[in-house]
């Protein structure tokens, strides 16, 4: 039996530990000074400005990169560490629990809320205003721009004030750090949100490469332009001086039969641009509760904008189909959702790809919004031969009668269908106790695929 350790085992320090320890030590000195001065206690400092923040220039930690990259001043750093404290050292905020004996409750000027499970103090905008400004009204008002949409906190998606209740003061809102920032400064890694009702998107990945994608040179040229925008968009809008003329972002429509490579292409574009691609689940996004769809959408688009994701909307005709006269509240609600999504797509500064198997079902008014509309056809015989050959490359258990060229010539299958046939053939062989796949296994799989499409062969 392995004995339990008598003392906690300390793991190796994370990449942010040193920088955060310095920042927290400075924060605690500032907080002690603010409390002492506010209540007229003896204090060596004349003000919180007597405590200079630690110099993090040259520090390689992710936390220092954020502080230096956003060029945060002392006020902004105080607010940032205040919001971070409940996550890494909640006890430093316990001083805000002191009671106002005159009214037998906490001090209003401290702000703060309590969580459903967290027993510590959760700071609000009021807490930040007290810490930075005390009872200086001018300094308090000067803090408001820190939470505006043009401030680096908002532009980088680091910190915000949570949703405002009608009639409540703006400072009553909780300080909220993004999951991406929290993950970066605690683990040093990249946070990828989990798929669910509140985040209706999944990250697209593929083990395949451009070599596995068989498309015509004309289609590849169109795809190259999307990659070009993904790689050089900021340069085009900045140094090239085209921000006056061009709307930000790039919007592309992929259309064509199922299985022709639309999703794979979106994944490979992300890899070529060095960014993540997220596939939006429109069925989960469309909520029966008015306002919930917009809320779910906002969460995806906000994160995508701050983190330079590519957004991929599959089966886009589900939401962008031809519109009918709104005859009921449900119709009006659906039209409202569509209008909101279209506006977010138009304003998105990155790459958005919409895919559909049925272009004819799309409202023609949407087409002018795309920079490119790319048709993915059923591959021709030579392309099918290449798909078969590349999919079976390295597969050693093929019987000698397997004839890739004849299958490619005889059956107009898409790449997706060819992959289904290969899967079927391998399973069929194993079910029959064989270690090799014969031509008959693939032919049976081909008949199955053709039946799915309402064809015979």
What tens digit of pLDDT does each residue of 109-119 get?
A: 999 998 889 99
Residue recorded with tokens 């270690």: 435
Tell me the average pLDDT across 80-90. Answer: 97
Q: Which of 247, 239, 266, 340 is nearest to 297 (CA)?
A: 340
- Residue 401 has phi, psi (to 5 degrees) of -85, 0
C-alpha to C-alpha distance for 70 and 146, rounded to whole angstroms: 12
For residue 175, what are the β-bridge partners? Answer: 161
The number of angstroms, rounded, from the C-alpha of 408 to the middle of its chain's C-alpha atoms is: 39
Q: What is the pTM for the complete model shown?
A: 0.73
Which domains can be identified in the chain, with CATH numbers? Answer: 17-186 (no CATH), 201-375 (3.40.50.300), 381-452 (1.10.8.60)
The answer to whether the beta carbons of residues 320 and 289 sit under 8 Å apart is no
What tens digit of pLDDT does each residue of 243-281 get?
A: 889 988 999 999 999 999 999 999 999 999 999 999 987
C-alpha to C-alpha distance for 157 and 307, rounded to whole angstroms: 8
**Per-residue model confidence (pLDDT) at position 358:** 80
Max Cα-Cα span within the chain: 93
The answer to whether the beta carbons of residues 375 and 346 sit under 8 Å apart is no
**Per-residue model confidence (pLDDT) at position 2:** 39
Structure tokens at 176: 């909220």
C-alpha to C-alpha distance for 141 and 357, rounded to whole angstroms: 54
Structure tokens at 122: 């959760």
What tens digit of pLDDT does each residue of 14-56 get?
A: 668 899 999 999 999 999 999 999 999 999 999 999 999 999 9
What tens digit of pLDDT does each residue of 360-413 get?
A: 777 676 777 889 999 999 999 999 999 999 999 988 899 999 999 999 999 999
């Amino acid at each position: 039996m392995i004995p339990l350790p008598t003392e906690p085992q300390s793991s190796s320090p994370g990449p942010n530990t040193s920088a955060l320890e310095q920042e927290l030590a400075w924060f605690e000195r500032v907080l002690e000074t603010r409390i002492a001065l506010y209540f007229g206690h003896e204090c060596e400092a004349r003000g919180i400005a007597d405590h200079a923040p630690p110099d993090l220039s040259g520090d390689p930690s992710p936390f220092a990169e954020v502080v230096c990259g956003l060029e945060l001043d002392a006020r902004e750093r105080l607010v940032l560490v205040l919001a971070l404290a409940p996550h890494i050292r909640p006890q430093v905020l316990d001083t805000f629990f002191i009671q106002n004996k005159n009214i037998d409750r906490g001090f209003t000027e401290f702000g703060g809320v309590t969580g459903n499970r967290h027993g510590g103090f959760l700071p609000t905008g009021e807490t930040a205003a007290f810490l930075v400004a005390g009872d200086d009204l001018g300094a308090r008002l000067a803090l408001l721009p820190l939470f505006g949409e043009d401030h680096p906190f908002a532009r980088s998606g680091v910190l915000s004030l949570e949703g405002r209740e009608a009639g409540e003061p703006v400072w009553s809102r909780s300080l909220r750090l993004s999951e991406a920032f929290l993950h970066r400064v605690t683990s040093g890694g990249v946070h990828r949100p989990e798929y669910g009702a509140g985040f209706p998107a999944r990250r697209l990945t593929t083990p395949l490469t451009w070599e596995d994608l068989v498309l015509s040179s004309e289609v590849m040229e169109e795809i190259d332009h999307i990659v070009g925008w993904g790689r050089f968009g900021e340069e085009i809008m900045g140094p090239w001086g085209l921000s006056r003329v061009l709307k930000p972002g790039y919007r592309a429509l992929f259309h064509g039969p199922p299985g022709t490579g639309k999703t794979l292409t979106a994944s490979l574009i992300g890899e070529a641009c060095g960014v993540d691609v997220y596939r939006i689940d429109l069925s989960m996004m469309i909520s029966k509760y008015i306002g919930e769809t917009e809320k779910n959408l906002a969460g995806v688009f906000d994160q995508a904008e701050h983190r330079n994701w590519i957004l991929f909307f599959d089966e886009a005709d589900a939401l962008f189909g031809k519109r009918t006269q709104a005859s009921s509240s449900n119709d009006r609600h659906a039209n409202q959702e569509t209008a909101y999504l279209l506006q977010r797509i138009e304003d998105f500064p990155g790459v958005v790809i919409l895919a559909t198997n049925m272009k004819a079902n799309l409202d023609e008014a949407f087409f002018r919004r795309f920079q490119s509309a790319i048709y993915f056809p059923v591959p021709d015989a030579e392309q099918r031969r290449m798909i078969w050959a590349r999919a079976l490359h390295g597969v050693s258990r093929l019987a000698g009668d397997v004839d890739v060229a004849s299958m490619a010539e005889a059956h107009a299958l898409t790449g997706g269908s060819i992959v289904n046939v290969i899967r079927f053939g391998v399973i069929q062989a194993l079910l029959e106790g064989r270690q090799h796949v014969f031509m008959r296994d693939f032919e049976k799989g081909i008949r199955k695929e053709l039946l799915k499409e309402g064809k015979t062969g």
